Amino acid sequence: MDTLVIAIFVLGYLAITLEHSLKVDKLIPALAMMAVSWAVISLGHLEVFEVDAELHKLVPTHIEEILLHHLGKTAEILFFLIGAMTIVEIIDYFDGFSTIKSFVKTNSKVKLLWIFSFLAFILSAIIDNLTATIVLITILRKIIVKREDRLWFAGLIILAANSGGAWSPIGDVTTTMLWIANKVTTVNLIKYLFIPSLLSMVIPVLIASRMKAFQGNIERVEEDDDHNGNDEYSSIMLYLGLGGIMFVPIFKTVTHLPPYVGLMLSLAVVATFAEIYSSSRISLTHIDEESDEAAHFSPVHKALAGIELPSILFFLGILLAVAALESLGTLFHFAESLNENIPMLGTEPAIAGYNVSDLVVMILGVGSAVIDNVPLVAASIGMFSDPVDSPLWHFVAFAAGTGGSMLIIGSAAGVVAMGMEKINFFWYMKKISWLAFIGFLVGSFSFMFLRTAF
């Protein structure tokens, strides 16, 4: 029966990759394979497990408990995504991105590539790679009119955002997991991974800048004079929105609550100012024609109507489908078998610094492009007992963070970009994956070289 669940996942995964050929939206197979996988587990009375990080083994549990656990973890990501998308939509309602857009004066594709790549690299470390991707693709839409050009830029934004998220404790879900689990500290994570992460972004962008797709100038979007009449508040809402997102890690550090709680607080503050600055009047106690009409023009209501709900449902399906494999112990045993069967490449403690081969970690990195990196990192946390700030954990953070760039559905940034720009799976694999792979290799080897200096 375990094999049946794996087969369902593989078939669902193939249906997602063949979305355009099958003419079926990717969220349909994602939701279907999630529901069918858990149904097979329930009807087949299969034993489910959770990873005990202290004992480094699988512990049997009940299906209701483990499903509720995974739903809770998935909901944290989804509500964070909803909050971030809503704040971005509110900023866009007030044409806040025109402030950043006004700084981009060049029409050169190469210069724009470098500008957006470095913005993605820096912003992802501050506001996480998922939110940075949403922000930058929103700005991209306001600058570049040709969709074909936007696809190329979006692909490199995904790559740069994932590289930027790898060296920050709040830049990627997986680094946040390692940080919360007390496997890495902020200072040492930056110390070990900033240069490898930077190289994993710079080298692919340098190669891409010489490609035909980035030669010449872009066709810019024509200026629109209709900005909802809120131009005077554009800069205020931009800085307030981005400041609210940047406030989240501070809130988390002080309260020790999950990031989505802080983001909901930020959303409440941003939404309050949005309503104050808006000319609409909303009645929350009376439902009548006047209040319904006012709600239609509310920036908050409009922002909520504009978020990418299909992308959110796609996340729900993918994450809970992967959770089914994790609950069966499949991912844990896979990672464990890699550790046992692949020869150790770095056995000298002075050089390697840990008791697992570099090849195993790199395979986990490549695997994160195929299977979500969150359960792979979760399995790693449960498998290895290395102390805090061991080079193992830094390499796992880098590999899981940047490895997801090799396929568009291998990272949260890729999935949200896929939804926003309708990027074809095979287009990305043909045009961008090889660049991401080169960046992954360059970053990995630079990490191996640099760790001997620390």
Q: Distance between CA 76 and CA 247 in Å, rounded?
A: 17
Q: Distance between CA 334 and CA 321 in Å, rounded?
A: 17
Say what the pLDDT of residue 284 is.
Answer: 44
Contacts of 75 (CB under 8 A, 6+ apart): none
Say what the pLDDT of residue 106 is.
Answer: 81
Say what the pLDDT of residue 135 is.
Answer: 83
Expressed as residue numbers, the domain containing 418 is 2-288+295-453
Q: What is the pLDDT along the chain (454 residues), one digit of tens a residue?
A: 788 999 998 898 888 777 767 878 878 998 999 999 999 999 998 888 887 655 567 788 899 999 998 898 888 878 887 888 898 889 888 888 777 777 777 888 899 999 999 999 998 888 778 878 988 888 888 888 888 888 999 999 999 999 999 998 878 878 877 876 678 888 888 989 999 999 999 999 999 999 988 888 887 766 654 444 446 788 888 889 988 988 887 888 788 888 889 989 999 999 999 988 886 444 444 444 444 444 456 888 888 887 878 878 887 888 888 888 888 888 777 766 766 666 544 444 433 444 446 777 888 888 888 776 766 776 676 566 677 888 888 999 999 889 989 988 788 788 888 878 888 888 999 999 999 999 999 999 999 888 877 6
Structural domains counted in the chain: 1
User: Residue with structure tokens 């999950």?
Assistant: 258
356: left (phi over 0), alpha (psi -120 to 50) or beta: beta
Say what the pLDDT of residue 120 is.
Answer: 93
Q: What is the pTM of this model?
A: 0.75
Secondary-structure percent of the chain, ordered helix, strand, coil, rounded to 5: 75, 5, 25
User: Would you say 218 and 115 are in contact if contact means Cβ atoms under 8 Å apart?
Assistant: no
Q: Report the interhelical angle of 391-403 vs 186-208 (nearest 10°).
A: 40
Closest CA to 126 of 96, 167, 92, 88: 167
